[in-house]
Structure 1
Amino acid sequence: MRYISTRGEAPALGFEDVLLTGLATDGGLYVPESLPHFSLEEIRSWRGLSYSELAFNVMHPFVDDAIPADDFRKMLDETYAVFAHKAVAPLVQLDTNEWVMELFHGPTLAFKDFALQLLGRLLDYVLEKRQQHVVIMGATSGDTGSAAIEGCRRCKHVDIFILHPYQRVSEVQRRQMTTVEGDNIHNIAVRGNFDDCQRMVKESFGNQSFLGGKTQLAAVNSINWARIMAQIVYYFHASLALGGPDRSMAFSVPTGNFGDIFAGYLAKKMGLPISQLVIATNRNDILHRFMSGNKYEQHQLEHTLSPSMDIMVSSNFERLLFDLHGRDGLAVKTLLENAAKGPVSIEDYRWKHARKLFDSDAVDDKTTCDTIRETYDQNEYLLDPHTAIGVRAARNCRRDPAVPMITLGTAHPAKFPDAVAESGLSVQPPLPAHMADLFEREERYTVLDNNIAGVQEFIAKNWKKT
């Protein structure tokens, strides 16, 4: 399996190098040269497999011979053994043919654990083999940071620097990052928004001279292909649990950076019968505006009750644009360069094809709260604000009531008590037992100005040189 850049000018790489590289040298994102495809008969034969066994079948073609099969199986077994629910990603029914797939039973209570628990183990395996040290630099709008720290904190050959927007993540999200002990863990609160943090990460990957040539950056954000690869699995898992592949499924995906729903798009291309993919966004609705009106235009980023989706520049959207443009890297590069200067559109026939692939909806804070309250009143089931957006978008966009509609439950409601309170409910979602003392733990983080030179200087001074 070889991987190519969405901008067409970087060399093709194998899995190990893609794992460690993050952004391609031409500024693009790596994607597989070709996708594996599974027949309905093969998918059907996976019924009854454990989550880790299913994960091996779906992901092994992407890893190929980079990691021996037995080692990869062991890694997957260890990854999903730490989840608090034996089903790993259980499905909960809300109504007739309406489901939530709970992706928050990992150590940090968010869907990011599915990929980042694995990514930490992959990095440790490859870096140990190469006797190499790397610096992880990542940006988070809330959940990626804690999942990356939890997944990578025991890695012997890694220093972790996570940037989050100062005072723009929930308190639980912040404390999950800043209370983890370890000399190799560094939290940076940037006086700016998530897009500022993400821009610094991308620019730093493009020019790593501030590290003095003594190490290299590795990515944990969803620009890292391994993140996308791991997220493909739970689409197969949900389908098989509800009668697939002999019936088609629909999915509604709360998304900011487009990685999670891109994984669903890939699952469909790999042979899984999916009849509908719904992009669910909040007021930061650049993806919905593009899908509904063929206009990709950045607006001012707004702070909402669903902070993990407070993103205006959706990095993984580039991977879809690459496919929409017939895998023409130069066309993608030109389009994104123009997008940095102002609004852009794509050719009408390409946009119409995108509309066949995806539906979309944008849900404001009031409607989010209404959905949390209504769902609790109807089912005594508590949604976090991101999942609530997914549920509302699913209902607004649903094409066929006979097709099971599965909303991805991306986070535990205990991470967002303010949104639950604002919905008018008196319920206080408790933290799980392993986090019961979270508010008593000591925090460690550094507040820095929205200035890339200052952030890079901090990283250069604080990574271990041994």
Structure 2
Amino acid sequence: MDYISTRGKVGNIGFIDAFMMGLGNDGGLLVPNEIPVISTETLQQWEQLSYQELVMAIFSYYTNGEIPEEDLKQMVEASYSTFRHDEVTPVRKLYEGTYLLELFHGPTFAFKDIALQFMGQLYSYVATKYNKKIHILGATSGDTGASAIEGVRGKEGIKICILHPHGKVSKVQELQMTTVQDDNVLNLSVDGNFDDCQRMIKELFADLDFKSANQLAAINSINFVRIMAQTVYYFYAYFRVKQETSVERVNFSVPTGNFGDIFAGYLAKRMGLPINKLILATNENNILERFVQEGVYMPGEFCSTYSPSMDIQVASNFERYLYYVLNEDAAQVRKLMEHFKTEGEIVLPPELLSKVQADFSAHGVMGQECLDTISDYKTKADYLLDPHTACGVAAVEKCAGTGEVTVSLATAHPAKFDEAIRLCGIEQQFPEQIAILFNKQQRQKRIDAELSVVADELVKFYNS
């Protein structure tokens, strides 16, 4: 398998080169030149695999044998040894017909750990094996930053800089990033929103001279390895639910702002996993809901919400999905993305909208509905949902059909979003790893949302 760009001007590169390139050098996103299709017989063989064994099985289709099996196994084992649950991503029944896939048992209590613990190991492997200096640059709406930093802090040959929107992440998310004292970590607190941070990241990666001179590497979901790693837990959850219910097809409800997590589910479905329906759950920043329902992709007014990790208007992984909706026509993708850049919208014709609606349903969860869902499930199921997970559960109620079985992704531990939990009149006890953050010294630099300012800070940091 080789990797190509959604815009058609990067092609036939290997797995490690694709990992290191991150964003395609033509401004597009990298995808496999062919999605592997897993046979029914192989799926049956995978049902009894542990999470780590399943990672190895799925990765084998994407890594092209570029990493010796024993080396890959060591990275996988090291990645998931940091998780607090033996199953890594356990599945639990919430109520009849609805299950939660708990993705928050990693070191930073968020689903991003599942991919980023592995990516940290892989970056370290590449740095050591190829004697490379790696300078990771990323933007976060809250969880990616902490997970990425945790994955590479203190690692030889690697520096990481994370941009986050000042005052627009939860306090715990901020503390998880900014209390890390390792010298290879820089946090830039940007006076803007996440879309500003993400836009500047993409512009810096698109400046090929700057990217090469500063040896930039991507940690955001523009990097296909993020998507590849997240695909695994869809398979794992399906097998667990099938064993309990004997159902052949399931829905997945996915809280998403950047379209990465739900695109991983789409990829799993294209690989042959028997997914019935992908339910896209979002919040007031509901550009993706409108896209699914009307075929219009157009950013609206940015809103700060109780689910800040989804406070995103421009979803970076949207282009990957658009590529497949357009039957892998890179020239058409390039044309539409240029139109979006100049006109600020993409409108699909009815025949393509019908394809989208065959893949997804969607529900935008407003603030009070989010809080009500948290309160309701604490009362009737004695389960405390974080606000993002609550959006996913609320979307199940709106979009799942009678008699269907749905797995809703629990994307973060509620302790990360105590601001919303307290508004529900609920007091929670923080895990020790989070409670101790409030007594640690913070280290971050506040800057304007200006590309030149970010570039200057990066050059100083990477050359220090």
TM-score by length of 1: 0.97
In the TM superposition, residue 38 of structure 1 has moved relative to its aligned partner by 1.1
CA contact 1:208–1:216 (8 Å) conserved in 2: no
- Superposed, 1:219-368 pairs within 5 Å as 219-243=218-242, 247-340=248-341, 341-368=343-370
Q: Who is 1:426 aligned against?
A: 426
More deviation, 126-135/338-347: 338-347
**What letter matches 1:451 in structure 2?**
E
SS in 2 for 1:61: coil
In the TM superposition, residue 153 of structure 1 has moved relative to its aligned partner by 1.2
In the TM superposition, residue 209 of structure 1 has moved relative to its aligned partner by 3.8
Q: Who is 1:131 aligned against?
A: 131
CA contact 2:4–2:11 (8 Å) conserved in 1: yes
Q: Who is 2:55 aligned against?
A: 55
In the TM superposition, residue 208 of structure 1 has moved relative to its aligned partner by 4.7
More deviation, 188-197/242-251: 242-251
SS in 1 for 2:28: coil
Note the alpha carbon deviations across 1:153-176, whole angstroms, 9 max, x for none. 132121101000000000000000
Q: Who is 1:114 aligned against?
A: 114
Q: Who is 1:445 aligned against?
A: 444
Q: Which runs of 5+ in 2 are unaligned?
A: none
In the TM superposition, residue 17 of structure 1 has moved relative to its aligned partner by 0.8
Q: Who is 1:6 aligned against?
A: 6
In the TM superposition, residue 177 of structure 1 has moved relative to its aligned partner by 0.2
Matched residues in 2 for 1:209 and 1:29: separation? 19
CA contact 2:104–2:110 (8 Å) conserved in 1: yes
TM-score by length of 2: 0.97
Matched residues in 2 for 1:343 and 1:369: separation? 31
CA contact 2:97–2:406 (8 Å) conserved in 1: yes
Matched, 1:151 2:151: yes
Q: Who is 2:378 aligned against?
A: 376
CA contact 2:255–2:391 (8 Å) conserved in 1: yes
CA contact 1:210–1:457 (8 Å) conserved in 2: no
More deviation, 333-342/24-33: 333-342
Q: Who is 1:387 aligned against?
A: 389
Q: Which runs of 5+ in 1 are unaligned?
A: none
Q: Who is 2:462 aligned against?
A: 463
In the TM superposition, residue 403 of structure 1 has moved relative to its aligned partner by 2.9
SS in 2 for 1:120: helix
SS in 2 for 1:92: strand
SS in 1 for 2:121: helix
CA contact 1:133–1:215 (8 Å) conserved in 2: no
In the TM superposition, residue 104 of structure 1 has moved relative to its aligned partner by 0.2
Matched residues in 2 for 1:179 and 1:342: separation? 38
CA contact 1:208–1:217 (8 Å) conserved in 2: no
Matched residues in 1 for 2:455 and 2:345: separation? 31
Note the alpha carbon deviations across 1:319-361, whole angstroms, 9 max, x for none. 0000011111111111122122233212221111110010001
Matched residues in 1 for 2:247 and 2:55: separation? 20
Matched, 1:195 2:189: no
Matched, 1:92 2:92: yes
Q: Who is 1:435 aligned against?
A: 434
SS in 1 for 2:322: helix
**What letter matches 1:283 in structure 2?**
E
**What letter matches 1:78 in structure 2?**
A
Describe the shift of the 1:462–1:192 C-alpha distance in structure 2 as closer, same or farther (beyond 3 A).
Answer: same
In the TM superposition, residue 249 of structure 1 has moved relative to its aligned partner by 1.0
Matched residues in 2 for 1:14 and 1:347: separation? 35
Matched residues in 1 for 2:129 and 2:216: separation? 18
CA contact 1:210–1:460 (8 Å) conserved in 2: no
Note the alpha carbon deviations across 1:371-404, whole angstroms, 9 max, x for none. 00000000110000000000000110012x3332
More deviation, 186-195/329-338: 329-338
Q: Who is 1:217 aligned against?
A: 216
**What letter matches 1:196 in structure 2?**
D
Matched residues in 1 for 2:208 and 2:186: separation? 18
CA contact 1:161–1:459 (8 Å) conserved in 2: yes
How many residues align? The count is 461
Q: Who is 1:417 aligned against?
A: 418
More deviation, 241-250/302-311: 241-250
CA contact 1:159–1:464 (8 Å) conserved in 2: no
In the TM superposition, residue 42 of structure 1 has moved relative to its aligned partner by 1.0
Matched residues in 1 for 2:172 and 2:336: separation? 38
Note the alpha carbon deviations across 1:51-98, whole angstroms, 9 max, x for none. 100111111110121101111112111111110011111112111111
CA contact 2:165–2:191 (8 Å) conserved in 1: yes
Note the alpha carbon deviations across 1:414-448, whole angstroms, 9 max, x for none. 0001111112x3322x3322333110011000000
Q: Percent identity?
A: 45
More deviation, 4-13/430-439: 430-439
Note the alpha carbon deviations across 1:162-193, whole angstroms, 9 max, x for none. 00000000000000000112111000000000
**What letter matches 2:23 in structure 1?**
L
Note the alpha carbon deviations across 1:301-323, whole angstroms, 9 max, x for none. 11001000000000101000000
CA contact 2:154–2:183 (8 Å) conserved in 1: no
Matched residues in 2 for 1:445 and 1:323: separation? 40
CA contact 1:145–1:162 (8 Å) conserved in 2: yes
